[in-house]
Structure 1
Amino acid sequence: KPVWEAMSWENRANIFLRAAELIATKYRPYMNATTMLGQSKNVFQAEIDSACEIIDFLRFNVHFLSEIYRTQPVSSRGIHNRMEYRPLEGFVVAITPFNFTAIGGNLPTSPAMCGNVVLWKPANTQVFSAQMFMRILLEAGLPEGVINLVLVDGPTLGAECFSHPDFAGVHFTGGTGTFNHIWKSIGENIAKYRSYPRIVGETGG
C-alpha cells in the first residue's frame, strides 16, 4: 500500500488507461467471451457491457479524477486555500453484481485509481470475466496486491473484513437486503475501526 499510495496519480491513471487500450484491442474477444460464458449474454450484449462500457468507465474515471485533483477552493486576498486528497487509511472492499462485467470492473478500479488497496469479491457468475480483467490489469502494469480478487462466499468475506480494524470502505452493487446487512455489520463494529468507513452502495428496486 505505501508504494502504491506514494505513486503519482498520473502514473496510477496511466495503468488504467493502458488496461482500457488492451480491452479495446488485444483482449476484446476474451472479455466478451468470458462475459457470455458466465452471464449468458449474447455477443451484442457482451460487447456493450464488457468492451464498450468498461473501456468508458476506465477512461472517464481518469478524466473525472483529473478534474477532482485540479479543482481547488477559492482563495481570498491574503489567504491561500488548497485541498489535498489522500487515500483512505486501510483497505476498500468491492462487492460486484452478477449481471454487469463493466460494473464489476468499475467498483474495484475507481478506489484503486485514487491510491487505495482493494479486496474484490465478484458474484459467482462474474468469476470468468473478473479473472480475465485481473489478467489485463496486471499486464497493464498494476502492481500485485493493489486489487486482490477473492473468490469466497459473502458471509465469509463479511465476517473477516467488516470486523477488521483496517477496513476503510465498501463499494457495493447488489440487493437492498444485502446492503442493509452490510451497513448493519459495519455499525456493530464501528468502535473497532481506525477511522469511519466510507459506505457506497447501489441497490435494486
Structure 2
Amino acid sequence: MANVFPIKIQNYIDGKWVPSSNMKTYQRENPANPEEIVIIAPNSTVEDTNHAVEAAQRAFADWSSTPAPKRADLLYRFTEQLYAERESIAQIITKEQGKTLNEALGEINKTISEVRYTAGEATRMNGQTLPSERAGIEVKTKRVPKGVIAAISPWNFPIVTPLRKIAPALATGNTVVFKPASITVGTAAKFVEIFEKVGLPKGVLNLVIGSGREVGTPLIGHPLVKGVTFTGSTGVGRSIYQVAAEKLIPVQLEMGGKNAGIIYDYNDIKGAVNQICGAAFAATGQRCTSISRIVVQRSAVNDVVSYLKDKCQSYIIGDGMNPETTLGPVVSKDHLETIENYVQIGVNEGATLVHGGKRVESQTKGYFYEPTVFTDVSPDMRIAKEEIFGPVLTITPVDSFDEAIQIANDVEYGLAASCFTNNMEYAEQFVNEVQTGMLHINNGTISESHVPFGGLKNSAVGPYSIGVTAKDFFTDLKVVYSASK
C-alpha cells in the first residue's frame, strides 16, 4: 500500500500514541527533494522521556516473567508482519533517509533474518551446571534480564540497527525505551506500530522522539535505566560512556570506522575493485563498515585506478525512488557540506583527485554527490585518518605487506577491514595483526545475520551485537549454590 506524505507521527508511551507534552513538532525533508516534507514528528521533552522510562519499569515484572518461547513467538509474528508491509516501509526509508528502494528492501530483509535468529535465542538462554568442591552442593548459573534498556540508534540504517538492539532486549525479557535519530523517525514509528499490531504488551517498548539534549541525555542518566545500547559517532559514544560510568551501568557502543581494503599479491584486481566499490558506495558511503581506504601494492595502483574510474562512472545518481538509481543522495544538507569540506581538505593536503569531487546538480536541488576517488594519499593525511561517512575513497600505495598492515592499523578505529590476496601467508598475517573486530578475506565488508558484529579500539565498547554474544550485554549472570538438605 502506498504511503501518503507527509506522515504525521507521535510518541508511543505505555501502549498509547501521544504527542509531546509541549505539543511541539518538527519536519523532516526528503533528501532527494528538500522541498518535499515527508515526516512531521514530535519534539519531545524530558517529561516525555521520564514517562517512557516509568512505563517500561512498570511493564518489566510481567514481561520478564513471560515464558521465553512466548516472547520468541511474538518476535516471529513481528517478522511475518514486517515482511507483509515491507514495500510500504521501504518507501518510508527511501523518502526520509535517501538510500535506493532496493537498498531499503535489502535492509528490511536483513532485519527479518536477524530478528528471526534473535527470536530463537530467547529459548537458548541456557546456564551451566558446575561441579562443587563440597559434597551435597549443586552449583549452577542462570541468565536474567537487566530491566529497562535505553536503545539509541542512528539514521543510516533506520530499521536493522534499532531492531539489532530492541529484538535481543525483548527476547531476553527486558523492556525498552527507544530513541531513534531525528532524521529517520518515520521508519521507527512504523515498526513500533507493527509491534503493537502483533500484541506486544503496553510499556514493553516505548518510542520517544526528540533531540539528544531533551531525550537522549536524560534517558541515559535516568536512575531506572539499567543499560544503554548505542550506535553512532565515537564522539557521542564517548559522552554516553561517561554518563553510564557515573551510574555504573553497562554500555554497548558501536561507533565509527575508517575501514581499509588491502590489495596485495592478488590476481583479480577488477574483482577486488568491484567488491570494494560495493562496500564503499552502498548507502552512498554512509555506513560504519564502509571501506574508505584502499591500501594497494604499488605495482597495481594504475589498474586499481582504471577499474575504479569505470565503476564510478557506471553509477546512476538520483532519487532512490527511481528504480534505475544506484546511488541516492546523502542524508542532509549539513552532511553534504561536511563531505565537500573533506574533499577540499584532501585537495589542499596534496592528494590527487581522479574522479568525482563535486555535487550533482538536479532540478529538485537534492543532496547528491559524486562517488569520489583520491590517489597519492599518504597515511598521515586527514582524509586517510578521519571518518568522512560519504562516497569518498582514498588510495595509498605500499611497497610491502608489512607496510600495508601498519597503515591499516594507523587510525583510531578498529571496526572492519578487507584483504584481497592469493597469498595465504599474507591472509593469515592479516587476520593475526590487523586491529579490527571484523576481518574479511577476498570479499567486502558484508556482515551476516547470525554472526557477532562489533569492533575494537575507538569503534566499540561492550559485547558484540547479533549472534551468541548479544545476550552477554542484555542479561546479568546469577550463580546459585544449592544444598541437598
User: Does the pair score TM above 0.5?
Assistant: yes
Please tell me whether the aligned partners of residues 121 and 151 of structure 1 are also in contact (alpha carbons under 8 angstroms): yes
Deviation at 1:175, TM superposition (A): 0.3
Deviation at 1:79, TM superposition (A): 5.1
Structure 2 CA distance, aligned partners of 1:164 and 1:46? 34
Structure 2 CA distance, aligned partners of 1:138 and 1:75? 45
The question of 1:170 aligning with 2:222 is answered: no
Q: Which has the higher contact order (CA 8 A, sep 6+)?
A: 1
Give me the CA root mean square deviation: 1.8
Kindly provide the CA deviation profile for residues 103-147 of structure 1, in whole angstroms up to 9, marking residues without a partner as x.
122212221221111110111222111111001111111112111
Structure 2 CA distance, aligned partners of 1:163 and 1:28? 35
* Superposed counterparts of 1:35-46, under 5 Å: 35-46=93-104
Aligned position for 1:27: 85
Aligned position for 2:155: 98
Please tell me whether the aligned partners of residues 118 and 167 of structure 2 are also in contact (alpha carbons under 8 angstroms): no
Aligned position for 1:184: 242
- Give the share of equivalent positions with the same residue, in percent: 28
Structure 2 CA distance, aligned partners of 1:80 and 1:21? 42
SS of the residue 2:139 aligns to: coil
Q: How many residues align?
A: 195
Deviation at 1:182, TM superposition (A): 0.7
* Superposed counterparts of 1:8-23, under 5 Å: 8-23=67-82
Deviation at 1:157, TM superposition (A): 2.2
* Superposed counterparts of 1:42-121, under 5 Å: 42-50=100-108, 52-67=109-124, 69-70=125-126, 72-75=128-131, 80-88=138-146, 90-100=147-157, 101-121=159-179
Aligned position for 2:317: none
TM-score (norm 2): 0.38
Deviation at 1:159, TM superposition (A): 3.6
Please tell me whether the aligned partners of residues 175 and 204 of structure 2 are also in contact (alpha carbons under 8 angstroms): yes
Deviation at 1:78, TM superposition (A): 5.8
Quick one: which of 187, 190, 193 aligns to 1:132?
190
Aligned position for 1:193: none
More helix by share: 1
Please tell me whether the aligned partners of residues 105 and 133 of structure 1 are also in contact (alpha carbons under 8 angstroms): no
Equivalent residue letter for 1:182: I
Equivalent residue letter for 2:96: G
Structure 1 CA distance, aligned partners of 2:90 and 2:194? 13
Deviation at 1:64, TM superposition (A): 3.0
More strand by share: 2
Kindly provide the CA deviation profile for residues 72-102 of structure 1, in whole angstroms up to 9, marking residues without a partner as x.
34447965332222211x4111000111121
The question of 1:7 aligning with 2:66 is answered: yes
Equivalent residue letter for 1:23: L
Please tell me whether the aligned partners of residues 152 and 229 of structure 2 are also in contact (alpha carbons under 8 angstroms): yes
Please tell me whether the aligned partners of residues 5 and 87 of structure 1 are also in contact (alpha carbons under 8 angstroms): yes
* Counterparts in 2 of 1:73 and 1:97: CA distance versus 1, 3 Å: farther
Quick one: which of 228, 248, 254 aligns to 1:202?
254
Rg larger in 1 or in 2?
2
Deviation at 1:204, TM superposition (A): 1.1
Structure 2 CA distance, aligned partners of 1:136 and 1:27? 9
Unaligned residue ranges in structure 2 (runs of 5+): 1-59, 258-485
